[in-house]
Amino acid sequence: MDDIDFGDRIESETNSLLSTVKTLLVDFRIIFKRDPAAKNWLEVLFCYPGLHALFMHRIAHWLHNLSIPFMPRLMSHLARFLTGIEIHPGAKIGRGVFIDHGMGVVIGETAIVGDFALIYQGVTLGGTGKESGKRHPTIGRHVVVGAGAKVLGNIHIGDRVRVGAGSIVLRDVPTDCTVVGVPGRNLCRLPERFCPLEHGQMPDAEASVIRALLERVEQLERQLQTLTNEKN
């Protein structure tokens, strides 16, 4: 029975390794769709640190699932030294994830990143304290996390969400929404046809609030002027 269990485990891990290789091919191909600067396969293969970091992470994650000590963390550390991207071996990264530029990206141990997510430099998917268990965020499919954004705690970011650059997200964000600001505020629904690279269409939360206040002040001034005229 032990031999059978061992054989089943070897077969399972072999299938897992083959799945990892297929995932790496998807990671490679998605770069040409997401980055206009990607000119040829040789350039992408040797000059994209996000791809290198994901390659090393997927191997480290496979070793981590085998409960192999030390080696997965060492690979993570080497990847951080070579690419500037720190991904804990325990983090679960979906297919077709693209880390663009990537310097300063940190992804915690219990973080989950969905398929085809787009992550820019300086992003942190981190925790908020010393709690145990699931303490890092879960990112849905086709999510865009802008440069310098911080998504903290055991929260859920729905599918096709856009997180604005520099935002700090501490609460759940529903599917098909945009979140910007410090702390992050859910502002609007995404258009039906949304391009993950169109960051110029992100709403300005502070400008919207200031505009609303100005309109309210003007309305009150008109009402006050009307009352003054009636008294006179």
Sign of CA dihedral 121, 127, 128, 130: negative
Instruction: Give the C-alpha separation, 67 to 63, whole Å.
Output: 7
Sheet with 156-157: list strands edge to edge: 92-93, 112-113, 138-139, 156-157
Q: Please name the amino acid found at residue 192.
A: E
Residue 183 is encoded by which pair of tokens? 């702390």
SS3 152: strand
pTM higher than 0.75 for the full model?
A: yes
Among 146-155, 182-191, 194-203, which range has the highest average pLDDT?
146-155
pLDDT (tens digit per residue) in 64-85: 998 899 999 999 999 999 999 9
User: Is the pLDDT score of 102 beyond 60?
Assistant: yes
SS3 104: coil
Report the top-level CATH class of 2-201. mainly beta
pLDDT (tens digit per residue) in 104-123: 999 999 999 999 999 999 99
* 73 sits in which H/E element: helix 71-83
The per-residue pLDDT for 214 is: 86
Write the DSSP symbol of residue 46: H
Q: Please name the amino acid found at residue 118.
A: L
Q: Which residue has the tokens 């206040």?
A: 213
| Domain ranges, ordered by start, for the chain | 2-201, 204-232
Determine contact, residues 143/161, Cβ cutoff 8 Å.
yes
pLDDT (tens digit per residue) in 22-74: 888 899 999 998 888 888 889 899 999 999 999 999 999 989 998 899 999 99
SS3 117: coil
